[in-house]
Amino acid sequence: MRSDVNKINAEQANNIPTLADLAVKYGTISQDQHGYLIQLFTFKNGQAGYEDLLRDEGMATPYQLGLLKLIQEYLIVRKSGEEFGKIAIEKGLATTEDINQALELQRKVFKKSRHKKLIGDILVETRILTIKQKDLILKEQNLFNRYGDDCVPRRQTLLQ
């Protein structure tokens, strides 16, 4: 349960919609039900995650919850891909057009097969990046996500 609360806080910090937000967006619940869930979540001091609340309140079936979680995971992968793309552009390893095309391919693959393909893998497959460049960008991205702006000087030298 506690990890659900941490996940919800992380989602909000990264502008990733909560399961409750996605349930409204995709018509699983109404705005009134969403408001009720927010109140219930607050009342329970975050001891139950939105997935539990949606299920326990009978607002979503297991199938619907699975789809909402899949969409949420895709949005997380997408956001990470956008961050990856920014670093690749900043380092001169890819163009904005390369990144936009890779993100569009990522969206199409997800829509067609529900597979969450990573942008770095797409850029390697399309020969925009080498595996070594992808790995270096991932290393930098992980440092930046872990330490924030404190690692900026190191970010500039990582790919050289």
User: What percentage of residues in the chain have a pLDDT greater than 90?
Assistant: 69
pLDDT surpassing 60 at residue 1 = no
- Is residue 124 within 8 A of residue 98, CB to CB? The reply is no
pLDDT surpassing 60 at residue 7 = no
Q: What pLDDT sits at residue 146?
A: 62
Query: How many domains in the chain?
Result: 2
- Residue 71's contacts (CB-CB under 8 Å, 6 or more residues apart) are 22, 26
User: What percentage of residues in the chain have a pLDDT greater than 70?
Assistant: 81
Q: Euclidean distance between the first and final Cα of the chain, in Å? A: 43
Q: What pLDDT sits at residue 147?
A: 57
Q: Which residue is listed with tokens 């009720």?
A: 36
- Tens digit of pLDDT for each residue in 81-135? 999 999 999 999 999 999 999 999 999 999 899 888 999 999 999 999 999 999 9
In-domain check, residue 98 = yes
- Together in a domain, 47 and 89: no
Where is the domain boundary, 17, 37, 60? 60
**Range(s) of the domain holding residue 35:** 2-60
- Together in a domain, 44 and 77: no
- Together in a domain, 77 and 130: yes
Least confident of 6-10, 28-32, 81-85, 115-119: 6-10
Average pLDDT over residues 36-53: 90
Q: Is the pTM of this model over 0.85?
A: no
- Together in a domain, 42 and 78: no
H-type helices in 26-160, by residue range?
Answer: 31-43, 50-56, 62-90, 96-113, 119-125, 131-147, 152-158
